[in-house]
Amino acid sequence: MEKPVPGPRPLAPWRRALLGLLRLFGWKTSFVWPPAPKGIIFLYPHTSNWDFPLGLAFRIGHDLPANWIGKAEMFPRPFRRFLERVGGIPVDRSRATGFIDAMVREYQHRNWMWVAITPEGTRSRTDHLKSGFYKLALAANVPVALAYIDYGSRTVGMDTYVRFTGDEQRDLDVIRQFYSTRRGCKPELAGDIRFKR
């Protein structure tokens, strides 16, 4: 029997306390519950190790079930079950069908799946984004959350959702405009919002 699809609900006191801890350190959050049971969480920019604890506190504090992707080798027994329970999805990238097909199958057999992806693929400076998130959003026909950790306004947010059209330049322009006022911890390391040619 499948688990029920999660939905917004009153936060447990300990979750509110975690969000209060963020506020104590000068951070605020902006959150709108996902509009569909399946989608992609686009995390940009990713320039610091501090992004992980801030993002984790945001996710737990707002009671947002979210997944992350790892190579199948990162899920050895006896740890595989635990890693899957905390949101990990093992993907065998050596198969001929490839990453996108494997992830589309995951979407098809789950009743809830929001996957967090950092399209820069590194905290170091890069002149382009990896295009996997874009291809996956189109192939799985799912919305994309434009999530951010803005060190300028000290806000962790996931409040805007888009659907890509397949017009690559138009879709990238939407992303560029949204993130034009958001600043990473080390702005000089933010990757260019374009795909490799």
CA–centroid distance for 78 within its chain: 26
pLDDT digits over 6-65, tens only? 778 888 999 999 999 999 999 999 999 999 999 999 999 888 888 888 988 998 899 999
Nearest to 44 by CA among 140, 139, 138, 162: 162
Of the ranges 64-73, 79-88, 135-144, the best mean pLDDT one: 135-144
pLDDT digits over 115-127, tens only? 998 887 656 677 7
Angle (CA) 34 160 24, round 5°: 90
In a domain, 137, yes or no: yes
Q: CB-based burial of residue 178 (10 Å sphere; 0-12 exposed, 13-18 middle, 19+ buried)?
A: middle
E strand segments, 10-67 = 28-31, 38-43
* Residue type for position 76: P
User: How many angstroms separate the CA atoms of 31 and 184, rounded?
Assistant: 18
Give the model's pLDDT for residue 172: 95
Q: Check: CB of residue 129 under 8 Å from CB of residue 194.
A: yes
Copy the structure tokens of residue 66: 């979210």
Tell me which of 109 and 159 has the higher pLDDT.
159
Question: Please, which pLDDT band fits residue 106 given cuts at 50, 70 and 90?
Answer: confident
Q: How many domains does the chain have?
A: 1
Copy the structure tokens of residue 48: 């610091």
Q: Check: CB of residue 81 under 8 Å from CB of residue 29.
A: no
In a domain, 192, yes or no: no
Give the model's pLDDT for residue 1: 45
Q: Is the pLDDT of residue 95 over 70?
A: no
Torsion sign, CA atoms 26, 159, 99, 185? negative
Tell me which of 144 and 76 has the higher pLDDT.
144
Give the model's pLDDT for residue 2: 53
Give the model's pLDDT for residue 122: 57
In a domain, 88, yes or no: yes
In a domain, 5, yes or no: no
Question: Please, which pLDDT band fits residue 96 given cuts at 50, 70 and 90?
Answer: very low
The percentage of the chain sitting over the pLDDT mark of 90, rounded to a whole number, equals 49
In a domain, 79, yes or no: yes
DSSP-derived pairing of the beta strands 155-162 and 88-91: unpaired
Angle (CA) 194 127 34, round 5°: 50
pLDDT digits over 6-17, tens only? 778 888 999 999
In a domain, 135, yes or no: yes
Q: Whole-model pTM?
A: 0.85
Tell me which of 31 and 93 has the higher pLDDT.
31
Nearest to 69 by CA among 106, 32, 123: 106
In a domain, 120, yes or no: no
Q: N- to C-terminal Cα distance for the chain? A: 45
Q: Is the pLDDT of residue 70 over 80?
A: no
In a domain, 106, yes or no: yes
Tell me which of 69 and 170 has the higher pLDDT.
170
Tell me the residue range of the domain where 65 lies.
Answer: 13-41+52-115+129-181
Q: Check: CB of residue 16 under 8 Å from CB of residue 154.
A: no
